[in-house]
Amino acid sequence: MTGARVRVGKKVALSEPLYGRLTPELLLAALVSPHGRHEVSLEACNKDGTPAPSRTLWYYDETSESPDRVLMVIELPADEEQPSEISIDGLPAPLIVDGFAEGNEAAADVVRERLSALAPDERTKILAFLSDTLEWANQESRGLTLAKALQRLAAMIQLRAPHASVAGDQALGLAVETLALLDSTSVWVTGWSRDQDGRADELWLHAPEGASARAGAEAFRYKRPDVEQHYTELLDDAEHKDGFIAYLELRGTTRLTSGWRALLTGPGGAGEVACGPAISDPLAARRVVLQALARERIGGPLTVNHVYPAVERLQARIGGGSVSETHRFGARPVDPSVSIVVPLYGRIDFVEHQLVHFAHDPEIGECELIYVLDSPELADQLIIQASHLHRLCGIPLTLVILERNVGFGAANNAAVAEASGEAVLLLNSDVIPATGGWVGRLLAALRSDPGLGAVGPKLLFEDDTIQHAGMHFEIQPSSSIWTNAHYFKGMHRSLPQANVERDVPAVTGACMMVPRDVYRELGGLSARYVQGDYEDSDFCLRLHMLGKRVRYVPDAELYHLEAQSYPDDLRRLTRSYNSWLQTHLWSDEIERMAGL
């Protein structure tokens, strides 16, 4: 029969063992050491001597004659429903676990007898240790069971404060209005706090499983006239910035959305409130975060210290999706020179218009055509549509369905991973050819110079004025933010200066051809930008850093129904952030290219 024991690196008498199950596979063990923590190293072992995964925390109990204490989480053998014994330094010790049931009392006994009377700092350390078990254990099948077990134990360990009433005649007031989980170790929180006596200056956020974070002076504060009008009991001419917005990194790990608490504390007292359920969907959380930009001019402390790190965390989650299914209609071209990649988000009606135009150009049939759907909720509709359009237009195509929305950059990268062409052509679904032969002209230009990393065509509005003839960077006199600008935008397509092939700082990702090996060498489009703005210029800047050049090819002309491939409100929301991010990442290189 197998079991688990604790082996120590030095012969010492660890005493008073106390055990309790967190889940059927995880054991919580509390031990007392008569020796200093630096004299003992603990290792968890199975009964047969093989290592057992474990985590160890030394903590200090100032009320005890033997203050050095050990807390361990041990992973039990998977084939054993109940361990036969736990041994300490090879010596058997009694096991007080009769089995596991959700909310079992044995684990609670460990907390009551060993952890509930500790100093606040030690409690915080233990709570972080316990909550980190969520990531360490990685129990996908029992994640909720473990989180709930930790929530129950955390409630027994955490210090509590009186409820912070929202009342005009009370000195202390606190409200959390928005709470969003960015990932398992960071959160976004907004709300307001008021301390009429000016003595409660620390705001803490406590996760259900025990993780915590402090929003101190780093929180972004702003005036809240609505809160000001609420507090009229005291004549007060002081300027209050009651509103707060904060990106917080947790000490510990969290998975639960319900059971969060906020605590306002200081020398003058303390008060706490329960928070509503946290937003866990990353797209909804991102929208909430970006809306905060209205509180300041882009690039200030709110942007740098809060919005930026929050969006970075969310983009890492959003861009981490994978392909759920792939559908091929018609025979895949053998050794194609060009793979055309078209991302689809929200609107899939453009596919029909695009394919009808492609049907009149024999070159398209020789290309590998890949549509990647970044709106998986539309998958069934698009599959039917693609099957019909293949029969109608006779163009072979591949349909890549993503498991969830991942954004413009990650969607293109997922499709390029399926591509086999010598070059990849990134193309928006709202780009329609003006004439045939445009793919060949772009490919000829790309092949003509091995120093080229990307080429792009002339893009037109419906009235034959220029939408794109290469991109450059510009900055307004009153701003420090570099934005993207299109050469000759709004001029007629026949403008002589716009019909000269030349190197440019960048070309738009609405239609950009890149050697496939170069695209992969650079890791594709960045997933750090939000939903289809500035990924293209960022890519071109990385091409320049690689020693490659970018060329505008006016002989290839297409129409671009600009920004219609996804909703305008989303683009307006994200453009200011993306322009700031590009400036933050690339200002030195842009200034060098601009000759500044």
Residue 371 reports pLDDT greater than 60: yes
From the number of C-beta atoms within 10 Å of its C-beta (0-12, 13-18, 19+), residue 50 rates as exposed
* Beta-strand pair 423-427/338-344: parallel
Give residue 521's Cα distance to chain centre: 23
Phi, psi values for residue 366, rounded to 5°: -90, -10
pLDDT given at position 570: 60
pLDDT band, very low/low/confident/very high, at 246 (cuts 50, 70, 90): very high
Cα–Cα separations (whole angstroms), residue 67 to 23, 119, 439:
28, 12, 75
Bridge partner residues of 472 (DSSP)? 485
> Which DSSP symbol is given to 370?
E
Whole-angstrom Cα distance, residue 401 to residue 108?
46
Residue 445 reports pLDDT greater than 80: yes
Residue 223 reports pLDDT greater than 80: yes
pLDDT given at position 85: 47
* Beta-strand pair 4-8/86-88: parallel
What is the widest separation between alpha-carbon atoms in the chain? 91
CA dihedral 77, 78, 79, 84 (to 10 degrees): 40
Residue 11 reports pLDDT greater than 60: no
Q: Which of residues 357 and 562 earns the better pLDDT score?
A: 357
| Cα first-last separation, the chain | 75
Whole-angstrom Cα distance, residue 223 to residue 175?
15
Q: Which residues contact 95 (CB under 8 A, 6 or more apart)?
A: 19, 83, 84, 85, 86
pLDDT in tens, 465-501: 999 999 999 998 888 999 999 999 999 999 999 999 9
What's the rounded mean pLDDT across residues 559-570? 67
pLDDT in tens, 382-422: 999 999 999 999 999 999 999 999 999 999 999 999 999 99
DSSP string, 449-511: -TTEEEEEEEEE-TTSBEEES-EEEEE-TT---EEEEETTTTSBTT-GGGGS-EE-SB--TTE
* Beta-strand pair 26-32/15-23: antiparallel
Residue 373: count of CB within 10 angstroms of its CB = 29
pLDDT given at position 230: 79
Residue 162: count of CB within 10 angstroms of its CB = 10
Whole-angstrom Cα distance, residue 135 to residue 502?
52
Contact 400, 371 (CB under 8 A): yes
* Helix (H) / strand (E) containing 111: none
Whole-angstrom Cα distance, residue 44 to residue 28?
12
Share the mean pLDDT of the chain. 86
Q: Tokens 């968890």 belong to which residue?
A: 44
Residue 91 reports pLDDT greater than 60: no
What's the rounded mean pLDDT across residues 232-247? 78
Cα–Cα separations (whole angstroms), residue 383 to 357, 404, 493:
20, 16, 37
Whole-angstrom Cα distance, residue 366 to residue 491?
34
pLDDT band, very low/low/confident/very high, at 88 (cuts 50, 70, 90): very low
